Structure 1
Amino acid sequence: MVKVFADGGYIYKGREIVCMAEDFSSDRVSNFLTAQGEDIVSKDEMIKNTMTYSILEAHNVSDNVKGLRLKFDALASHDITYVGIIQTARASALEQFPIPYVLTNCHNSLCAVGGTINEDDHIFGLSAAKKYGGIYVPAHQAVIHQYMREMMAKSGSMILGSDSHTRYGALGTLAIGEGGPELVKQILGKTYDIAYPKVVGIYLENKPKKGVGPQDVALSLIKEVFSKGIVKNKVLEFIGPGIFDLSVDFRSGIDVMTTETTCLSSIWMTDDKVKEYYEIHKRPDAYKKMEPKSIAYYDSIIKIDLSKIKPMIALPFHPSNVYSMEDLITNPYDVLSIAEKEANLQLEDSALKLNLVDKIVDGKIKVDQGIIAGCAGGSYENIVNAANIIKGSFVGDDYYNISVYPASQPIYMSLIKNGVIPTLMQAGANIKTAFCGPCFGASDVPGNKTLSIRHTTRNFPSREGSKPSDGQISSVALMDALSIAATSANKGYLTPATDIDFDDYIPNYEFDDAIYNNRVYFGFSKPNKNEDLRFGPNIKDWPKMKSLSENIMLKIDSVILDSVTTTDELIPSGETSSYRSNPLKLAEFTLSRKDPGYVDRAKASKNFDLELEAGYMNLREELKAIVDKVMDAKGINEDERADFLSKTNFGSCIFALKPGDGSAREQAASCQRVLGGLANISVEYATKRYRSNLINWGMLPFTLAKGEAVNFEVGDIILIEGIKEALISGESKFEALCIGKDKKEKVLLELNDLTKPEKEILLAGSLINSYQK
C-alpha cells in the first residue's frame, strides 16, 4: 500500500524507477541513459533534475542554491491573520503590496463572537486592500485555498500563505504555509531564507478502487511517515504513472493534507487534466507542463499502490492516528479501546475522559455527526460523489446529522445547476456556504461526549470547538467524504464507501467567474494612498518589545512533556480566533486548555522584568530573594549585582519536548512574547514554521544539546551570560545555569542554523524592531 525507501533512488522523467539507492550501480544508470539516448550525468546533476530544483532555482535571488533566498509570486491570508500582518508591515513603513496579496475571509465569516469585532476586521481588510493595492475576497465567497487554486495558482510559480495548508502542488505551484511575519518580509521586499531542502519522491502507481477517495490516500501516507519524521521540512514531489488516472480535485485532496506529514511543501507533475482545469477557470496561460528532467535523484522515495488503498479513518486526536475502516469495523472494541486510552493520555491533567467504546451499538459503531467542508473536503467532485452515494437514502430523524460546505460560491453554483444540492437537501443534509469553521471549531460544534466524522484537515483535542474548562468534551475522526456519505446513508452507522454500490458519474463542472467579478475587490497594482484604514475598537497595535540584552534570566512558566505539542494547545483555535486583531486580549488564552495557570505565571515574570528596570535595590523582598539565589549560585557579589542586572532581561520560558505541530499561526509565538516570553526550550521543534515564528517575535528557540537530560520544573530560573555577544560572534552553543528549589546544574543549550537575518531579528527583539531600525 505505502512503502518507504528511506535511502532514495533514481527515477526517469517521473514515470519509471531506474533503481533504488540500495541497488545503485553507476553502470546500470549509465546503460539506462545510453539506451534512452540521454547524456550520462553525475549524481549532482541528477539532483538538479527534480521539479523542485527548477522552481526553487527560478525564485532564488542568492548566488548559492544551497542557501536559498526566495521571492514569491503571490501571497495569501485569511481573516485571523491578515490584520496582524498588515499591522506589522505598517510598523515597518509599508507603502504598497509589491506582489498580488489575497485577503480572504473564511475563518471569522460568521461574525458570531465578540460583537462587531469580526466584521470590523473585514472592513479593515478591505480598506487595506484599497490603500495598498490588494485583492479582497468577501466572506462566504470561497475558502482561502480554493480561491487560490481557482484564481491565483500557476504552474511553476510559488505562493506563500499565512495558513499551514497552503498547498497548490497539484496545479504545479510550489506553495508554503508560514507564520505572518514571513509574509511581512515579502511585502517589504525581503526574502524567505532556508537551506535547500531534501526532496522526497512520492511515486503513485495503479488506480484507486471505487469508493476510495483522496482523504483515504492522504491518511495512508500520513500514517506511514508522520511518527517517523522522514519527510519533516522536506518537499514532496508527486510522480509516477498513477497520477494520470486521478482527477485534479482528487490530486488536490491528497495535496492539501501533505501539511499533516510535516513536510515543507509539495509539487506534482502536470498533464492535460491540469491544462483543462486552467481552461475551465479561464486562465489557460497559467498552465505549463511540468515533469522531472531525464533521471532525477530523490533523497527518499515513497511508493503508493493506489489500488491497495482502503477507506481509512484517523481517530482522535491526530491525523496520524490512522486505521483502516475495515479493521475498525471488524474489531471495534479492540481498536477503540486503544484509541481511547491514547487519547486520554493527552487529557491526563483534566478530569474529563473521552469514551469512544460507548459508540459501539449492537456491535456497530454509531457516530453523531458528519461534516464535509473546507479546502480538503469541499471540492466539487467530493460533494458530487457524496450525493451519488446518499441519493435515494436519508439521514433520518435521530441524533445523527450532516452538514456540507462547498469550498467556493462557483462550486456551490455548479452543484445547484447540476441538481446535486437538491439531492443532498432531500436526504437531510444541511448545505452551508464556504467557511473553514468546521476545521478549527468555529461552527457545527458537536454535542458533549459525541463523535464527529469529518472530511476536514485536523482532529486535535478541542479543535472541534468543545471547552474542557467548562466540562465539555467531544472529538473528531477524519474520513473521506465518500465514506461520510455512506455512513450518512446508513443513518450514522460507520460504513466505508466501498460497501455501497453507487453511480460515480461526475457531470461537467461549470465555473462562473461572474461570481467573483461582481464581488471581489481586485486592487493589485492600484493602491490608493489617500484611502484611510478603518479600525474597529478591537484592532490594536503590537506592544513594544525589548531588544536582546547582554544577559538573560528565564523563568520556566510551563513544562509540557507530551510527545508532541500542537499550536492548538499553545493558543487554542475556535472562538479565540475572533480576538486575533488584539494581541493583549488574545494572549489571555495562551495555553488555556493545556496549562490554565500559565498566563498568570507569565504575567508575573513580565512584571518581574519591569521591576528589574527600576533597579536591583528597588526590588521587592520576594523578588530580591530569587535574584540573590541566582547571583549567589553564579558567584556574583553584592557590589556587582546592580550593574549585572542592569544588563539583564528577565523573561518567561516554556519547556516542551516537541512543540509546534499543526497550524502556521504566528500567534502561537506572539502570544508568549506579549506575555513576556523571551525564549522556548525544546528537544526539537515539530515544524520549521513554528520555530520561524518564535524567531520573528524575538524569542530564542533553544534546543537541549545532544545528550542533555534536565528535569525542568515550573519556577526554575535559567541564567545565560553574554548571550548577545555570543550570538553576534556566531556561537551556537550556550552554557546556562539552572537554579531550582533543590537544584543547581549547568545546562548546555543550542541555537543551530540561524541565518544572518534571523540573528538580526533576535538581537533587535522582533521582526518589527529589526525593520524599524
Structure 2
Amino acid sequence: MASMTMSQKILAAHAGLSEVKPGQLIEADLDLVLGNDITSPVAIKEMEKFKTNSVFDKDKIALVPDHFVPNKDIKSAENCKCVREFAKRNSITNYFEVGQMGIEHALLPEKGLTVPGDLIIGADSHTCTYGALGAFSTGVGSTDMAAGMATGKAWFKVPSAIKFNLIGELPEYVSGKDVILHIIGMIGVDGALYKSMEFTGEGVKALSMDDRFTIANMAIEAGGKNGIFPVDEKTIEYLKEHAPGKEFKTFEADEDAEYDVEYTIDLSTLKSTVAFPHLPENTHTFDDIADIKIDQVVIGSCTNGRIDDIRMAAKILKGRKVADGIRCIIIPATQAIYMQAMEEGLLKIFIEAGAVVSTPTCGPCLGGYMGILASGERCVSTTNRNFVGRMGATDSEIYLASPAVAAASAVTGKLSSPTEL
C-alpha cells in the first residue's frame, strides 16, 4: 500500500478507500458542515433548488451567526433571520443564537464538536482551524456547503503536503501567531497552494492548544488546503475537557510519507513578527521596524481571541494606559472566554487601561463593524488578513501581529514590541 500523510489517511478513511494519492478526486463522508450568517443564507437558497429541502443529519450541521452579530443593520438582520428559520425548520442541534454564539472557529472546538480524525467542511475560509485537533478541515463555497448539508458528502482533490518540522521552544512574548507569520513570510501567500501543511516534530509539544489553533487557522493565508497537527497529550487533555466521552480516531502520517518539501523551524530563534500592508507574507521583525504611528488596535478574531490571547493582552495592559488618541478594541472569541476573562479580572484591567471590550463578533476583521478604519488610518490587529480595504477605507493600513505586540502598540501609540515597554 502507498504511504500516506496524516491528511491523506483521513480522506481515504472517509472515502472508504484503502489508499489515496495526491491529485486523486474522491467523494467522502462528512462529520460536520459549518456555516455562518454571511455564507449560510446563500447555501440555504441553493438547497431550495435541490429536490430535497431536508438536511442529511441535524446533529452534523453547525450554524453560527458571528460576522455581523448582534445585527448591525437590516440586511444582517434578514440574513440571521434566514439562518434562524432554517435551523428551526430542520431542528438543527448546533445552532448558536446571540447569547450562546461566539466566533465560529473558537466556538466549535470549545463545544466539543470537532475531534481528531473528523472530516469537516465550512463555508468560511478559516475552517482549517480544526487541524489543531488532528482533524481534516477546510473551507468551501456556499454551494458545496449546500450539497454537504443535503447529502453529508463532498468531493475533494487529494492534496500533496508540506512538512514543517518544529524544534525548540518559543521565547517569552513569542506565540503561535509569530510562528505562522514567520512561515507565511518564508513561503509566501501561495507557498502551500492546495497543499496540506503538516506540523510535526519535538517542538509541537511546547505549543499550547491555543497556539496550535492560531497556526492551523492561518494555513489558508499561505494558500493551504488545510493545516494539521498530530494528536498528543495536550490534545487529549483538551478533548477530555471539551468533548468528554466523544469517540474519535487518530491518524498518523506514515514514516515514509511523501512531502513536496520539508522545512525545519527552530522555535527558540523566532521573534515577534508583524505582517505589513497589504499581504500576510510582507513580514518584518522589530530588528527592521522604524516608528510607525497607529490609530487603532484590535485584539480578537478566530485567530487570536482565545483565553491565552486575552490573558497576554491583560498581562501587558495591567497598570498601563492605552495611549492618547488610540482606540483599543478587545473581543473575547466566545461567551465562555468572555466569562473566564471576567472572572479572572481581565476585563477590569482592559477598562481601567482605557480599552473597550466587545461581545464576541468577527465584526472588525472583515470591515463589518466594531472597528472600521477611516481614510489613512493604521491598525495593529490580531486578525488574519491585511488586504487593501479589508478593515475599511481602501487607503487604510493593517499590521497583523500577536496579542502581545498589539497590546504593547496600544500602550505606546506606535507599532511596538512588548520587550520595549
Q: Report the TM-score range of the alignment, normalised by the length of the smaller protein.
A: over 0.9
Match of 2:307 in 1: 380
Aligned residue type for 1:57: A
Distance 1:200 1:395 in 2: 41
Distance 1:273 1:379 in 2: 16
Deviation at 1:316, TM superposition (A): 1.0
Is 1:96 matched up with 2:70?
no
Deviation at 1:118, TM superposition (A): 2.0
Q: Is the 8 A contact 1:274 1:287 kept in 2?
A: no
Q: Per the alignment, do residues 64 and 494 of structure 1 end up closer, same or farther by CA in structure 2, a change over 3 Å counting?
A: closer
Is 1:197 matched up with 2:197?
no
Is 1:275 matched up with 2:236?
yes
Distance 1:110 1:326 in 2: 41
Q: Is the 8 A contact 1:97 1:133 kept in 2?
A: no
Task: Provide the alpha-carbon RMSD of the alignment.
Answer: 1.9
In structure 1, stretches of 5+ residues that fail to align are 1-43, 333-363, 501-773
Distance 2:152 2:16 in 1: 10
Q: Is the 8 A contact 2:298 2:328 kept in 1?
A: yes
Aligned residue type for 2:194: N
Is 1:83 matched up with 2:41?
yes
Match of 2:285 in 1: 324
Aligned residue type for 1:389: I
Q: Is the 8 A contact 1:153 1:286 kept in 2?
A: no
Deviation at 1:299, TM superposition (A): 2.5
TM-score w.r.t. length of structure 2: 0.93
Distance 1:483 1:166 in 2: 25
Deviation at 1:63, TM superposition (A): 8.2
Deviation at 1:143, TM superposition (A): 0.8
Deviation at 1:289, TM superposition (A): 4.8
Is 1:451 matched up with 2:378?
yes
1:194-233 matches, within 5 Å, as 194-226=156-188, 229-233=190-194
Match of 1:480 in 2: 402
Deviation at 1:287, TM superposition (A): 5.4
Match of 1:418 in 2: 344
Deviation at 1:139, TM superposition (A): 3.2
1:137-176 matches, within 5 Å, as 137-139=96-98, 141-151=101-111, 152-167=113-128, 168-176=130-138
Q: Per the alignment, do residues 238 and 266 of structure 1 end up closer, same or farther by CA in structure 2, a change over 3 Å counting?
A: same
Distance 2:416 2:280 in 1: 19
Distance 2:243 2:15 in 1: 29
Q: Is the 8 A contact 1:142 1:407 kept in 2?
A: yes
Q: Is the 8 A contact 2:216 2:226 kept in 1?
A: no
Distance 1:291 1:194 in 2: 20
Deviation at 1:131, TM superposition (A): 1.4
1:448-597 matches, within 5 Å, as 448-466=375-393, 468=394, 473-490=395-412, 492-500=413-421
Distance 1:426 1:270 in 2: 40
Is 1:392 matched up with 2:319?
yes
Q: Is the 8 A contact 2:163 2:259 kept in 1?
A: yes
Distance 2:152 2:246 in 1: 28
SS of residue in 1 equivalent to 2:325: coil
TM-score w.r.t. length of structure 1: 0.51
Distance 2:213 2:247 in 1: 17
Aligned residue type for 2:25: G
Q: Is the 8 A contact 2:163 2:261 kept in 1?
A: yes
Matching residue within 120, 134, 149 for 2:78:
120
Distance 1:495 1:379 in 2: 22
Match of 1:109 in 2: 69
Aligned residue type for 2:103: V
SS of residue in 2 equivalent to 1:209: coil
Q: Is the 8 A contact 2:9 2:19 kept in 1?
A: no
SS of residue in 2 equivalent to 1:166: helix
Distance 2:276 2:250 in 1: 38
State the percentage of identical aligned residues. Answer: 28
1:62-88 deviations in Å (ceiling 9; x for gaps): 687333212211111100111110111
Q: Per the alignment, do residues 296 and 234 of structure 1 end up closer, same or farther by CA in structure 2, a change over 3 Å counting?
A: same
Aligned residue type for 1:388: K
Deviation at 1:132, TM superposition (A): 1.9
Matching residue within 183, 195, 200 for 1:239:
200
Matching residue within 292, 295, 311 for 1:368:
295
Q: Is the 8 A contact 1:487 1:496 kept in 2?
A: yes
Match of 1:55 in 2: 10
Q: Is the 8 A contact 2:8 2:159 kept in 1?
A: no
Q: Is the 8 A contact 2:374 2:392 kept in 1?
A: no
Match of 1:407 in 2: 333
Deviation at 1:282, TM superposition (A): 4.4
Distance 1:400 1:183 in 2: 40
Match of 1:440 in 2: 366
Aligned residue type for 2:179: V
Aligned residue type for 1:94: T
Distance 1:368 1:230 in 2: 32
Q: Per the alignment, do residues 435 and 92 of structure 1 end up closer, same or farther by CA in structure 2, a change over 3 Å counting?
A: same
Deviation at 1:176, TM superposition (A): 0.7
Deviation at 1:285, TM superposition (A): 2.6
Aligned residue type for 1:496: S
Q: Is the 8 A contact 2:33 2:145 kept in 1?
A: yes
Deviation at 1:366, TM superposition (A): 1.8
Distance 2:182 2:288 in 1: 14
Q: Is the 8 A contact 2:121 2:127 kept in 1?
A: yes
Distance 2:141 2:336 in 1: 29
Deviation at 1:275, TM superposition (A): 1.2
SS of residue in 1 equivalent to 2:125: coil
Distance 2:96 2:205 in 1: 32
Q: Per the alignment, do residues 286 and 147 of structure 1 end up closer, same or farther by CA in structure 2, a change over 3 Å counting?
A: farther
Q: Is the 8 A contact 2:116 2:250 kept in 1?
A: yes
Distance 2:237 2:227 in 1: 21
Deviation at 1:187, TM superposition (A): 2.3
More deviation, 364-373/476-485: 364-373
In structure 2, stretches of 5+ residues that fail to align are none
Deviation at 1:386, TM superposition (A): 1.0
Deviation at 1:370, TM superposition (A): 0.5
Aligned residue type for 1:78: N
Deviation at 1:298, TM superposition (A): 2.1
Is 1:67 matched up with 2:25?
yes
1:483-532 deviations in Å (ceiling 9; x for gaps): 11112232x132112445xxxxxxxxxxxxxxxxxxxxxxxxxxxxxxxx
Deviation at 1:460, TM superposition (A): 0.8
Q: Is the 8 A contact 1:75 1:161 kept in 2?
A: yes
> Across the two proteins, how many residue pairs are aligned to each other?
411
SS of residue in 2 equivalent to 1:297: coil
SS of residue in 2 equivalent to 1:298: coil
Deviation at 1:449, TM superposition (A): 1.2
Q: Per the alignment, do residues 412 and 261 of structure 1 end up closer, same or farther by CA in structure 2, a change over 3 Å counting?
A: same
Q: Per the alignment, do residues 226 and 284 of structure 1 end up closer, same or farther by CA in structure 2, a change over 3 Å counting?
A: farther
Q: Per the alignment, do residues 269 and 377 of structure 1 end up closer, same or farther by CA in structure 2, a change over 3 Å counting?
A: same
Q: Is the 8 A contact 1:222 1:260 kept in 2?
A: yes
Larger radius of gyration: 1
